[in-house]
Chain A
Amino acid sequence: MLIKRSKTTDLKEHQVTDEKLYLERRQYLKKMGFLGVGSLLSGTTVANVFDLFGDDSKTDVFKQRDLNYQIAKASTEILTPEIKVTTHNNFYEFGAQKNQPAELSQGFKVDPWQLKISGEVEKPFTLDYDDLFSSFKIEERIYRLRCVEAWSMVIPWVGFSLADLVKKAKITSKAKYLAFETLYDPKQMIGQRNRRLGGGISYPYIEGLRIDEALNPLALMSVGLYGKTLPPQNGAPIRLVVPWKYGFKSIKSVVGIKFLEKEPPTTWNILAPHEYGFYANVNPKVDHPRWSQRSERRITTGGIFAQNRINTLPFNGYGEEVAGLYRGMNLRKYY
């Protein structure tokens, strides 16, 4: 008897947006031509002018490889379509607007790559590009992603436990925190050389975790999504995914992980300390100063009537696994 077991990432018919229609989007917005003055002044203007005569499909697309990994158990939640996961990104290194990273990152070089593990460790080491995929057990994990801007997705990541990496590093007793750093390469990353495109934040992007957070089995170093290696806009070749925290904690295109005794300063916290805390745990009870965090819009397939608002759960619904990490802490103070 043939039992057909569908992969978790296989989409059902109704979940698929017609890709051709979807890619018409840019032309569509262009035709309407009623955007703010900023779009006239944008650094991508020159490219856009040529687009009017050329064709979007001619731009080189970053090549993703298929990955071998252990498939996750089927999720009860509807996955956010791959095309939306890969075209709606906050990755200011490639432009501060959501559609820009997918458009401005396709030439990004990820091989060779070096991820340096250093600081309070007995055995500093470096992972080269191939090591990222071969040093640890690679598995699929379907996680909710909750952005601090009150939208969310469900994404099938592929990667390995951050805890496995920490174990390999053999940390010293002084290692209390981790600092992660994104690649700094203004030649490749347009947002790092153009302050306006880069959203005015300082680079390189730095994020941090407490050591016990990093050891939690949910913390993932992702090297892929939807069964393939990550595209640049999602943080190729390797990124952090901490599903119980707001998305900005899940730093992309990581080149360094340093173990530290003290809490590291982090990018958004430096820029706007009253808006973005070090912990940034998803918490419906603590509002962002400019919007409520009580609920969120789940990005799914379909048009404007399909974008459902749902209640936000403490720790993004992972409280059972992680609430213990924060026992006794005032989460209003340590937001």
Chain B
Amino acid sequence: MNLSISKNRIPFFKAILHVVFLYPLASLYVGAFYDRLGADPVEQVIHFTGMGALNCLLISLLVSPLAKLFKLSSLLHFRRMIGLYAFAYALCHILNFLFFEVQFDLILFVEEIFKRPYITIGMTAFSILTALAFTSTSKIRRKMKKHWQKLHNFTYLIALLAVIHFYWSVKSDVTEPLIYFALYGVLMTLRYDSLRRWSQRFRSR
């Protein structure tokens, strides 16, 4: 079986991915606007975009192990895009909270960020993710040289913070957040070797 993706097919697959990531978001807001998301559309849009961001983050972390496993380096062409969708969903998540939950009560918005540990940690994750999103272009990547990889390894931290944010936000039953912890654990285990190398280099300096 030949699994390689020829270079000229990449735009085609990218277009498919755009649809996969944009369609749920678009239908979410259409549904929210027309009151088709149940009794509380606000809760729905916040939860949906939050889960979407977390799912995108974990999928982006799955790309390189998959590329290694199938010897399919062309998969890496899609990683940046998935990461940027994680950023887009996370941005929607926060804007939903600001627009629809606290409804532009900026004092309340800022207070909540600093007073509630789960929001503080979520906001921290988002800040780092923003830095990654803005340094994601090829041009900046070339300019940053080896620093780029160091910065973008923070994606492991972002995903961890996002899972903790989810865990702390849950009211009682924590099964679902625990599943996400497990998924995160698996994704980290898959890159155990490179993480070890990375930390050794860190310590030997």
Contacts and interface: CB of A to CB of B under 8 A. Distances in A.
B146 interface: no
Interface in A289-335: 289-292, 294-295, 297, 299, 301-309
A91 to B, nearest CB: 13
Interface of A: 17, 21-22, 24-25, 28-29, 31-38, 41, 83-85, 87-88, 92, 96, 98-99, 149, 151, 195-196, 198-201, 271-272, 287, 289-292, 294-295, 297, 299, 301-309
B174 A25 contact: no
Nearest to A306: B35
Given A98-B38, A292-B111, 5 more contacts: A25-B31, A28-B31, A37-B183, A92-B172, A303-B41
Chain A contact surface mostly? loop
Contact of A304 (B27, B33, B39, B52): B33
At the interface, is chain B mostly helix, strand, loop or mixed? Answer: helix
Interface in B5-43: 23-24, 27-29, 31-43
A24 B34 CA distance: 11
B41 A200 contact: no
Interface of B: 23-24, 27-29, 31-43, 45, 48, 51-52, 54-55, 100-103, 105, 108, 111-112, 115-116, 118, 168-169, 171-176, 179-180, 183
B36 A24 contact: yes
A49 to B, nearest CB: 19
A290 B34 CA distance: 30
A307 B48 CA distance: 18
Contacts of B108: 292, 294-295
Contacts of A21: 34-36
B116 to A, nearest CB: 5
Nearest to B23: A32
B51 A22 contact: no
A25 B37 contact: yes
15 contacts: A32-B31, A37-B180, A87-B38, A88-B39, A92-B172, A198-B173, A272-B172, A292-B108, A297-B40, A303-B41, A304-B29, A304-B42, A307-B42, A307-B100, A309-B102
Contacts of A195: 173
Given A21-B34, A196-B175, A297 B112 contact: no
Contacts of B171: 96, 149, 199
Given A295-B105, A307-B100, A35 B48 contact: yes
A307 B51 contact: no
Nearest to A32: B24
Which among A196, A198, A297, A304 has the greatest number of chain B C-beta atoms within 10 A?
A: A304
Nearest to B96: A304
- Of A24, A32, A88, A294, most buried by chain B (CB within 10 Å of CB) is A32
